[in-house]
Structure 1
Amino acid sequence: VTPPFWGEAMKQHFPNSSHLVAPNTGHNVAPVGCTKDIIADFINTASYEELDVSCLDDIKRPSFFLNTSGPVRSTEE
């Protein structure tokens, strides 16, 4: 997982590559939203060209932990 700027910079050095950005996420993208399905599809097809990544736009910002009782959703959602 890399900040988008660096991911895009690295992509330029790999001609057969794709750079996906999962908004509202941190350093562990794999278990968030539909990303596990995108990863599985990529592994199964060995290609990024046909991947449906439109679901990345639906990823919601994670809840904040304000105390040890658990996460609290923002009122902005």
Structure 2
Amino acid sequence: MAVRAQPEMRELLRRELLRELGSPSQVISLEQRGDRHLKGLAVCSGRVLSFVLDAQSQRLRTRPLFDLLLRSRA
């Protein structure tokens, strides 16, 4: 796979997160680990998520870190 420029990687990840999560997201940080993994943070629907994209298998894994929205008790 050819090395992509940073803005192209962010757009690729934004599309993958949209497909995976079903709502638009914003990539906050992005770090490339060799040729195999991309990892970073994203905000989606009031949640901060960490993600790892395995370049070889094209598998995206996400993990919620915390919610930005306050929830009220009824």
Note whether the superposition's TM-score is higher than 0.5: no
Question: TM class by shorter-chain length?
Answer: under 0.3
Structure with more strand by fraction: 2
Bigger relative contact order (CA 8 A; separation at least 6)? 1
When Rg is computed on C-alpha atoms for both structures, the one with the higher figure is 1
- TM-score, normalising length: structure 2: 0.27
- TM-score, normalising length: structure 1: 0.26
